[in-house]
Chain A
Amino acid sequence: MRLITHNMLQCHVKGCNANNFPLEFQEVELEQEEAEMNEDFLRNMLTKLEYDALVSTCLKLGINDLPATMPADAAYNDEFLQILHRVILETHVKSGKMICPNCKHIYNIRDGIPNMLLAEHEV
């Protein structure tokens, strides 16, 4: 699972509606895999990303390449887009857990595939 996907996910257990994002990583195994750069897509996602959550998640994973705030000229800042690309599209979580900061539900990631299914009593 790529970090861009993590940035779009929140806990969705029944009744868990506040403080349910971002999910906290634990025991993760990361992998870096090159991908073709697509500026159009990065620009499309700039307004959709929750940037603060992305930065804080990255710092906890030991990735400190992103500036603390998004540059004002982000859409046409090649250097920034390059870093963003590497972080959100080339960084994969191969295995680990995502834990809801609110209800503590554990979502497991195995073979790079997150299991976001809810348990019977959570729907």
Chain B
Amino acid sequence: MPQFLIQFAQQHEEFRLPELEALATIENVQMTYNPSDYSLELWGKGSSWDDLIEKVKEHPERWPQYLHTTFKFSVVTFGGTIEMKDKPQIINRFSFTGFLGKIDLKNPEEEFLLIADYGIEPDSVVAHTFYMGRLVGNGRRDLIDKFNVKKRRYIGNTTMDAELSLIMANQALCGSGKLVYDPFVGTGSFLMTCAHFGAMTVGSDIDGRQIRGKGKASIYSNCEQYNLKGRVLDALVFDVCHAPWRRINGGIFDAIVTDPPYGVRAGAKTLGRKDPAKQATEPRMAVEEGVLAHLLPDYVPPTKPYEMTEVVADLLMFAVKNLVRGGRLVYWLPTVTEDYAIDDLPTHPCMELISNSEQAFGQWSRRLITMEKVADWDSKTGLGAPSGDMNKSTTSPKRPGHFGFRDRYFAFSAVENAKRKKELKEAYQKGGSEGVAAYMKELEEKKKNSQP
């Protein structure tokens, strides 16, 4: 089996191996990897440049087919640096390969990489592992720019950033011919990224204003911007707890990709009234018009808060019923870091956990959960409940880290705000208005990295 070396983007590290595995599944590639080593067709690996050269020389049969291609060599470092002036010297040591083709620095037919790995310790000055190989592919980091939220015409307060949206599409095994659904579609980020990889997408949201947008900015205008009008099928207004999808034997959707709302600006909502006693069971008359209220064109039914443990449990059950076998559920679970435990996740015998990657924000974090439907559903099997009774005491038995998440997130913000007020006061006492400006700038930087 050929060996390859893959260098990942050093961001969202916990998401990289699950994504790689998803990509291998999409492309039907048999893959094993050594995670301790952690795409390059590997020609050699050594403990020094000398050692590496010896290893590469053990396989001269690899060289002749590149004898006359245009090529270039590049020296790449990981976790350290090699000065520009020292690089040609290193490259020259590999002249033993005897390539005769023209050196082309801009568009070579083949690129060979010489890699020095200094490891992940921040202050390492000596590289510990050296690699040589032929470059076989580059990542599609350009897509992050294409789907950059700042360049998108229509976004909301909770729009997911491009890189994570793209990772989700891969986790969902998006590809040509698939049907993908987002039940909390918001402004439609996942409809776009999943459609980019060839899937047909459909979304729904209880809040129709998000779908319609304002003026010329809407989900529809984003489809136009990315030229995906043919693949983004529709966005509908309804509550996923009362979903109008026709039940199809064997399931409808090839994947469900979603980010349930939980944040400060948008908590999840479901149809109904907070006080069940006030819930109408018969049609109501409109106050003035003398007609039934629900038939008026601007009728909006009442909604109530939808608690996060219920959202997640309902979402899983929906997936069990509506995914095809082999279909995937990919969703974000917000959770309080100190309360989180692996058995917080609701489970179902039909669903297998594929990956669980954390993006940490200090006291809270969100986890990207990927599950796959591995067995057909029969109506007798229900959810395996998360541990603990959620309606009773807060301490024992244990509640999941995502129980009542929205309120607890607010509590964090309140503490955070008080702290900021104090810091702001100190900054003013120390540096006057300039001190305040510097503090605000610092805050802005921090905020960039911590907003959901």
Contacts and interface: CB of A to CB of B under 8 A. Distances in A.
Which of B229, B283, B301 has most A Cβ within 10 Å?
A: B301
B176 A38 contact: yes
Given A10-B244, A117-B238, A118-B242, A4 B297 contact: no
B202 interface: yes
Interface string A44-80: 1101101000000000000000000000000000000
A9 B245 contact: yes
Which of B206, B230, B248, B300 has most A Cβ within 10 Å?
A: B230
A2 B235 CA distance: 10
A28 interface: no
Contact of B283 (A9, A35, A119): A119
A113 B208 contact: yes
B301 A119 contact: yes
Interface string B320-349: 000000000000000000000000000000
A50 B252 CA distance: 12
Interface residues of B, number: 49
B301 A48 contact: no
B233 A43 contact: no
A45 to B, nearest CB: 7
B40 interface: no
Size category, A interface: 35 or more
Contact of A1 (B234, B271, B293): B234
A98 B296 CA distance: 16
Contact of A113 (B231, B233, B235): B235
Interface in B148-181: 176-179
B254 interface: yes
Given A44-B178, A116-B238, A119-B294, A9 B208 contact: no
Nearest to B235: A113
Which of A36, A112, A116 has most B Cβ within 10 Å?
A: A116
A48 B293 CA distance: 36
Contacts of B220: 112
Q: For chain B, what secondary structure do more than half of its interface residues adopt (helix, strand, loop), or is it mixed?
A: loop
Contacts, number: 120
Which of A39, A40, A112 has most B Cβ within 10 Å?
A: A40
B236 A123 contact: no
A41 B201 CA distance: 11
Given A38-B176, A44-B177, A48-B252, A1 B246 contact: no
Which of A12, A34, A50 has most B Cβ within 10 Å?
A: A12
A116 B245 CA distance: 10
Interface string A97-123: 000000000101001111111111111
A34 B229 CA distance: 9
B177 A41 contact: yes
Contacts of B245: 8-10
Given A43-B177, A121-B283, A38 B200 contact: yes
B314 to A, nearest CB: 14
B1 interface: no
B206 A117 contact: yes
Interface string A9-48: 1111000000001000000000001111011110111011
Interface string B271-283: 1110000011111
Interface string B82-108: 000000000000000000000000000
Contacts of B200: 38, 41
A70 B202 CA distance: 25
Contacts of B280: 120-121
A82 interface: no
B244 A108 contact: no
Which of B177, B236, B243, B294 has most A Cβ within 10 Å?
A: B236
A39 B230 CA distance: 13
B297 A108 contact: yes
A7 B234 CA distance: 13
A33 B220 CA distance: 13
Contacts of B283: 119, 121
B244 A1 contact: no
Interface string B226-260: 00011101111111001111101010101000000
Nearest to A35: B230
B246 A115 contact: no
Contacts of A44: 177-179, 254
A35 B179 CA distance: 16
9 contacts: A1-B236, A5-B233, A9-B244, A12-B243, A43-B177, A44-B177, A115-B236, A117-B237, A117-B238
Interface of A: 1-2, 4-5, 7-12, 21, 33-36, 38-41, 43-45, 47-48, 50, 89, 106, 108, 111-123
Interface of B: 176-179, 198, 200, 202, 204, 206, 208, 211-212, 220, 229-231, 233-239, 242-246, 248, 250, 252, 254, 271-273, 279-284, 293-295, 297, 299-302
Given A35-B229, A115-B208, A117-B300, 4 more contacts: A10-B246, A35-B231, A117-B206, A118-B238
Task: Report, nearest first, the 3 A-B pairs whose CB atoms are least far apart.
Answer: A40-B177, A119-B294, A35-B230
